[in-house]
Amino acid sequence: MSDKRVTLSIEKGIATVTLNRADKHNALDMAMFEGIAATIRQLKRVVGLRVVIVQGAGESFCSGLDVKSVMSNRRNGFRLLWKWWPTQANLAQQVTIGWRQLKVPVIMVLHGNCWGGGMQIALGGDFRVAAPDTSLSIMEAKWGLIPDMGGTVALSELVSVDHAMKLAMTARPFSAANALELRLVTKVTDSPMTYAQQLANQLIERSPDTNRLIKRMYHDIWCSKVGKILAKETWNQWKILLGKNQKVAVKNALSNEKRDFF
């Protein structure tokens, strides 16, 4: 059980998903990407599911991409970005968009570092509850990359374009209090899991059909161009990665970073 990248437990219709790579601050290697995507597929088949809570084991929710692991094999980039149709979600996007595609509310419980890919995953939830010491960042631009995991969909719902560009272009970490001010998190509390469980219990008091239709309707109204966003993310990331000068810049930025993950 301890070697599983993602664990799942379900009790009384409430599923708890745990990113389970605490020794690496739940950094995203290929096994983590595949584990999250597989867990989402499993949840889609659960009869009687009412709410999903997603948390991270250890000191952080998710500190982003495990650079050393993912970049050690050139085929990994292709596996993450490949898709049969432009408007579909590739593997990198499935770990974010997949939560939105579930027919039940999804609550993200954030603490520690929530950077890069971790921030993208958090944006896939319908609600985000953060501990006061949570550090958040849309960090991809620090390495010459663009955010390409589907989090742009939620950003377009939550914040104005100038704030979204500032967060993505500067790649600077910001506090939970700042995230609340920007409306990127729903609640900041000393006990985020307790709050998430209380919210889950409130949600299951309502009709599951009502919750399902509200979720779908509101997401469709707030962001009606999901496929277009997914296509643009992937297309522009390929342009970055295939550009000769940019490839060198990205490689140098990654090799100069002391951490193995972001």
Q: What is the DSSP string of 101-149?
A: HSSS-EEEEE-SEEETHHHHHHHTSSEEEE-TT-EEE--GGGGT----S
Which residue positions in the chain have pLDDT lower than 70?
1-3, 71-72, 76-77, 244-262
Q: Which two tokens stand for residue 161?
A: 């374009």
Please provide the DSSP assignment of the chain as one string. Answer: -TT-SEEEEEETTEEEEEE--GGGTT-B-HHHHHHHHHHHHHHHT-TT--EEEEEESTT-SB--BBHHHHHTSHHHHHHHH--SSTTS--HHHHHHHHHHHSSS-EEEEE-SEEETHHHHHHHTSSEEEE-TT-EEE--GGGGT----SSHHHHHHHHS-HHHHHHHHHH---EEHHHHHHTTS-SEE-S-HHHHHHHHHHHHTTS-HHHHHHHHHHHHHHH---HHHHHHHHHHHHHHHHH-HHHHHHHHHHHHH-SSSB-
Q: Which two tokens stand for residue 189?
A: 């509390």
pLDDT of amino acid 258: 53
pLDDT of amino acid 83: 74
Instruction: Give the Cα separation of 138 and 119 in Å (integer).
Output: 6
pLDDT of amino acid 2: 43
Query: Taking phi first (over 0 means left), then psi (-120 to 50 degrees means alpha), and beta for anything else, what does residue 150 get?
Result: left
Q: Which two tokens stand for residue 176?
A: 């939970």
Residue boundaries of the structural domains of the chain: 6-191+212-256
pLDDT of amino acid 257: 54
Sequence-distant (6+) residues with CB within 8 A of 100 are: 106, 124, 126, 153, 154, 219, 226
pLDDT of amino acid 79: 77
Instruction: Give the Cα separation of 235 and 199 in Å (integer).
Output: 38
Instruction: Give the Cα separation of 110 and 93 in Å (integer).
Output: 19
Q: Which residue bears the tokens 């707030």?
A: 222
pLDDT of amino acid 82: 76
pLDDT of amino acid 261: 53
Pick the CATH number of 6-191+212-256 from 2.40.50.140, 3.90.226.10, 3.40.50.1220, 3.30.465.10: 3.90.226.10
User: Mind listing the pLDDT tens digit for each residue in 45-102?
Assistant: 999 999 999 999 999 999 998 877 776 677 766 777 777 788 888 888 999 999 999 9
Q: Which of 130, 125, 115, 132 lies closest to 157 in space, CA to CA? A: 125
pLDDT of amino acid 68: 76
